[in-house]
């Protein structure tokens, strides 16, 4: 048994490990761990306390996938609910569909009695207001919610120098724990040897309303196949969508490449991207035998991840490799 999750998974990795150790299924353990991340307002890019979009609203994306059946469920651009991962799980379990977005996803969430929540905290609202005042002219600010043209500000919204500083994003909410600044991803192998994956995020800070990143897109943000392996990405979702990064890694494993070779091949695919948004992306991958590799691509600083294996007393925090394109 193994779990690999990124640093943002810290609030939930212990719970996931404990459940797997007791014989829980990979999806039950993954969902339970991600729910704890979603509930922690200190993780400001997932669930409650997530950073807002351009009009000051928190829109969530999530996906979960069973590596045995290749069934998945995902939701995108959903507002007003505490646990996007649980709604995504219900899409997989209760509907013939793979992905619901926006108003339809919210309708389904109400039908299943999903827990409601206002995910915009005072802290995330303040960060959004600071961005608005620094980026959008006064004449357009009052109209941001309805008629103002937002497209001219999208490029500024994703420039690194306009994103919250590390101090802003990682500043403690009510304690001195390290806090998160990325999508959370969980990869797991349970006691049966089956694989699963799950992801949850509030996406880019100040994204255009309705923007979907890679997280809810099967094969881009995450993918699992118990015969070969699983992978998940964080960072610039647009890159993972264009390259189909997570699915590519699993396909390279299927072709007979070793895990290190499969990840290297996927990184080479990213080097083939021309134009568009090219920035940082972190790849998390495991193979069916339980080998793991995490690589931070174009990272401006070191990235860490958490890993737990059967028999270990607690999850270990490990530094990811760094590679530039």
Report, as residue numbers or ranges, the catalytic residues.
183
- Given the DSSP bridges, would you call strands 195-201 and 222-225 parallel, antiparallel or unpaired? unpaired
For the chain, the helix, strand and coil percentages under 3-state DSSP, each to the nearest 5: 35, 25, 40
Do residues 299 and 281 touch, judged by C-beta distance below 8 A?
no
Closest by CA position to 128, among listed 148, 145, 116, 115: 145
Do residues 26 and 189 touch, judged by C-beta distance below 8 A?
yes
Closest by CA position to 4, among listed 200, 284, 210: 284
Query: Long-range pairs for 133-142 at CB < 8 Å and ≥24 separation?
Result: 134/162, 135/162, 135/206
Q: What is the residue-wise DSSP string for 101-123?
A: EHHHHHHHHHHTTPPB-----HH
Task: Give CA angle at 113 (109, 116), nearest 5°.
Answer: 75
Do residues 1 and 189 touch, judged by C-beta distance below 8 A?
yes
């Amino acid at each position: 048994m193994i779990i690999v999750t990124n640093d943002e998974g810290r609030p939930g990795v212990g719970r996931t490990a404990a459940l797997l150790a007791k014989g829980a299924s990979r999806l039950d353990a993954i969902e339970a761990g991600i729910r704890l991340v979603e509930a922690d307002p200190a993780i400001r890019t997932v669930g409650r306390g997530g950073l807002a979009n351009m009009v000051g609203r928190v829109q969530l994306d999530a996906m979960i996938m069973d590596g045995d059946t290749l069934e998945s469920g995902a939701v995108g651009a959903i507002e007003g609910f505490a646990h996007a991962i649980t709604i995504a799980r219900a899409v997989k379990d209760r509907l013939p569909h793979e992905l619901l977005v926006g108003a339809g996803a919210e309708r389904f969430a109400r039908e299943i009695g999903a827990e409601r929540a206002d995910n915009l905290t005072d802290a995330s609202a303040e960060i959004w207001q600071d961005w608005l005042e620094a980026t959008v002219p006064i004449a357009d600010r009052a109209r941001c919610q309805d008629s103002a043209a937002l497209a001219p500000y999208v490029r500024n919204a994703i420039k690194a120098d306009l994103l919250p500083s590390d101090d802003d994003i990682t500043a403690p909410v009510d304690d001195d724990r390290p806090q998160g600044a990325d999508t959370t991803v969980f990869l797991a192998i349970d006691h049966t040897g089956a694989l699963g994956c799950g992801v949850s995020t509030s996406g880019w800070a100040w994204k255009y309303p309705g923007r979907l990143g890679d997280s809810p897109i099967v094969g881009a943000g995450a993918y699992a196949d118990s015969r070969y392996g699983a992978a998940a990405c964080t960072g610039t979702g647009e890159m993972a969508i264009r390259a189909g990064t997570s699915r590519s890694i699993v396909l390279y494993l299927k072709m007979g490449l070793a895990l290190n070779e499969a990840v290297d091949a996927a990184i080479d695919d990213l080097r083939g991207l021309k134009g568009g948004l090219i920035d940082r992306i972190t790849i998390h991958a495991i193979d069916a035998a339980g080998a793991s590799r995490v690589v931070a691509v174009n990272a401006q600083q070191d990235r860490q991840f958490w890993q737990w294996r059967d028999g270990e007393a607690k999850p270990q925090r490990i530094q990811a490799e760094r590679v530039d394109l």
